[in-house]
Structure 1
Amino acid sequence: MSLPGHGRFDYAPINARPDFLWPGGKRLAVYLGINLEHFAFGAGLGAELAPGGPQPDVLNYAWRDYGNRVGAWRLIELLDRLKLPATVLANSAMYDHAPELMAAHARRGDEIAGHGRTNSERQSTLSEADEAALIAEATDVLTRETGRRPAGWLSPWIAESAVTPDLLREAGYGYTLNWCMDDQPVWLRTRSGPLLAVPYPQEVNDIPAIVARKDGPAAFADMIGDTFDEMLEQSESQSLVMGIALHPYIVGQPFRLRHLRHALAQIEARRDRVWITTAGAIAEAFAATSGAPGNGRREAG
């Protein structure tokens, strides 16, 4: 029986791949993906703290906007205290809604990656032309505001059409965070050349953990710490990537932030053994080590 497939990459066991090292001879690369998102008022998609009623859904809109007004600033204070870099996954609408917040991350030197226009929409529901226009609009805003084209992309809601990787490659992106199938970067085939998939977590991610599964703050912090400890042991034999996905309107709440601080301090304390970096730096290092395959080459890891 032959099932429909995507054709983007081939199966390759994690323990049967060429060996490589991260910069500094490190085996485990760790990055923080900070999602900065703006939502339409009275329309569109959005995570919910409680079941929403008729629009305008003031409760859930205001809960999400707490992240931009308060939670994200508390998270920056935490990152500064621990001297941790971040990859900011930014809706382009953030530059109109909260320019001071985007400027604060720019001053830190954080990587700014594309995350669509707003998380009130999914690009997977659009025609190919309209999806290409969405990517172009978001990319143009980030390029204008930061002075450089973003290297990476995370689709709002991790939503892809059948041609999203092709459109990203054609828009000049070097890596995507949409695919969560591995602990190492994986080259994807597109119609215009290879695109790198950098691991982005769907388990160590506060949306599935806290919003969907209703895990408490201590449980989420334990999840981060246990994943780090286990992957540090696993990485003794091969180089791996650990991502941590955070949304300030969730982990920026005071009772969650206190637990997150302990978990991130646990990682920072092992800085001598791990490479704490950005998703973009991981993509660059892996591409330099492995070399991008030809578009027709069957390459998985």
Structure 2
Amino acid sequence: MLPTHDRYDYHPWPERKAYEWPGGAKLAVYLGVNLEHFAFGEGLGAELAPGGPQPDILNFAWRDYGNRVGAWRLIELLDEVGFPATVLLNSAMYAYAPSLVAAHRRRGDEIAGHGRTNSERQSVLPEAEERTLIAESTAAIVAHEGKAPRGWLSPWIAESRVTPDLLAEAGYAYSLNWAADDAPIWKRTRAGRLLAIPYPQEINDIPSIVGRKDGAAQFADMIIDDFEERLLQTRDGLPQVMGIALHPYLVGQPYRLRQLRRALMHLAARRGVVWVTTAVGILDHVTGLPPGTIPGE
């Protein structure tokens, strides 16, 4: 037998139980907007071009454009199409760009935990230090939002062997880390169950634009094609979740934003047949379904 994570069992897609999203929809769509802050002259970060010796001004400033300009343009677009967002928040943003977080708060967007900063990976920390990272990020959100976040996305999708346990012990109800399915599944932890909600690694601007060097129009076409194919697939009666992962320093660039507008307008035109929601909206709906509906329950 190969080593296993033992977090969930194999659940063949054709053997799933059918259920519906609100309004009878079979496809739920949510936008994951990553608000991230990076240490200057050190730490991790996507690169526009290969960086030189630190301080790497080119790449730091390129990423900072997202918080200074791109994220505000993205909010304008979200207002234009009438879409909510799940904000995946580095807690360092409260000190760096509090007005940006406040703008999402005014929209009523969900604020989910995304670590302290994307300049670190929690997967390399000893358990006690990882627990502290989660606690500090969570406490900052509670202090500013008045309530605890219910979902978590690790910086760099990095998990240690105990991350799901630590999240459940800290009161989190869902995680976006595992891109292993097209619908929510329950994971086992030492503190009870934790819902895994699909978060995309394909319809995600970092792997697409930074990793594969896809163009702006190609990324928009990917969103549209993914959406239309999922609508077709849901004819089997089984519900799906479509996440769209966005980083303002990428899609907030004007020529990319124009193409993203085209894609989101396409989705908005089909709003009557899908459920546009947030990750926490998916959690709330799933927890209200009859016992045994969701795999792993």
State the TM-score, normalizing by the size of structure 1: 0.96
Q: Which runs of 5+ in 1 are unaligned?
A: none
Residue 211 of structure 2 corresponds to 212
**SS of residue paired to 2:30:** strand
Tell whether the 8 Å contact from 2:17 to 2:238 is kept in structure 1 after alignment: no
Deviation per residue, 1:242-290 (Å, 9 max, x gap): 0000000000000100000000001011111000000010011112115
Q: Give the aligned residue type for 1:259.
A: Q
In the alignment of these two chains, the number of paired residues is: 296
Tell me the CA shift for residue 300 of structure 1. 3.6
Distance 1:233 1:137, change over 3 A: same
Tell whether the 8 Å contact from 1:90 to 1:116 is kept in structure 2 after alignment: yes
**SS of residue paired to 2:276:** strand
Deviation per residue, 1:45-79 (Å, 9 max, x gap): 11100001111000000000000000000000000
**SS of residue paired to 2:271:** coil
Range that drifts further, 261-270 or 281-290: 281-290
Distance 1:116 1:19, change over 3 A: same
Distance 1:254 1:4, change over 3 A: same
Deviation per residue, 1:15-66 (Å, 9 max, x gap): 2111111111111000000000000000111110000111100000000000
Residue 148 of structure 2 corresponds to 149
Tell whether the 8 Å contact from 2:88 to 2:113 is kept in structure 1 after alignment: yes
Distance 1:292 1:167 in 2: 25
Residue 165 of structure 2 corresponds to 166
Distance 2:292 2:36 in 1: 31
The yes-or-no answer on 1:190 pairing with 2:189 is yes
What's the RMSD between the two structures over aligned residues? Answer: 1.3
Large movers: runs of 4+ above 2 Å: 290-293, 298-301
Residue 23 of structure 2 corresponds to 24
Q: Give the aligned residue type for 1:258.
A: R
Q: Give the aligned residue type for 2:208.
A: A
Distance 2:85 2:17 in 1: 28
Tell whether the 8 Å contact from 1:31 to 1:242 is kept in structure 2 after alignment: yes
Tell whether the 8 Å contact from 1:194 to 1:292 is kept in structure 2 after alignment: no
Distance 1:62 1:40 in 2: 11
Distance 1:86 1:292, change over 3 A: farther
Residue 289 of structure 1 corresponds to 289
Tell me the CA shift for residue 134 of structure 1. 0.2
Distance 1:213 1:279 in 2: 26
Distance 1:90 1:64 in 2: 15
Tell me the CA shift for residue 160 of structure 1. 0.1
Tell whether the 8 Å contact from 1:116 to 1:155 is kept in structure 2 after alignment: yes
Distance 1:41 1:25, change over 3 A: same
Residue 68 of structure 2 corresponds to 69
**SS of residue paired to 1:245:** strand
Deviation per residue, 1:147-196 (Å, 9 max, x gap): 11000000000000000000000000000000000000010000010000
Q: Give the aligned residue type for 1:251.
A: V
Residue 257 of structure 2 corresponds to 257
Tell whether the 8 Å contact from 1:38 to 1:94 is kept in structure 2 after alignment: yes
Q: Which runs of 5+ in 2 are unaligned?
A: none
Q: Give the aligned residue type for 1:48.
A: E
**SS of residue paired to 1:142:** helix
Distance 1:292 1:19, change over 3 A: closer
Range that drifts further, 31-40 or 19-28: 19-28
Tell me the CA shift for residue 299 of structure 1. 4.4
Residue 93 of structure 1 corresponds to 92
